[in-house]
Amino acid sequence: MRGRDHYYISYVGNYSTGFIAGRKGISWAEARFVMNLLESYQKMGLAAEGMTTQSAQYLGHQSGISLFRQKTFMYNK
């Protein structure tokens, strides 16, 4: 699985990662910290994910946190 297909699957995975973090109410800063910890562990040294990866995760996080806030607001009425 190379090229375009790999790119789309990777994007969906990164978006989903951000979405789940947001949906659970995890702040973007906390999510970034944990994602970079995982990247560092996988690379066996200090590392940060690339901007394309972070952008997809951020978009997913924005969608997820929006749903989290809507849910929280509905329960706190």
Please give the helix or strand (H or E) that residue 11 lies within, else none: helix 4-23
48: tokens are 């940060």
Tell me phi and psi for residue 45, to 5 degrees. Answer: 175, 170
pLDDT digits (tens, 9 = 90+) for 21-76: 999 999 999 999 999 999 999 999 999 999 999 999 999 999 999 999 998 877 66
Contact 21, 63 (CB under 8 A): no
The pLDDT value given to residue 1: 52
* Alpha carbon distance 42, 70 (integer Å): 35
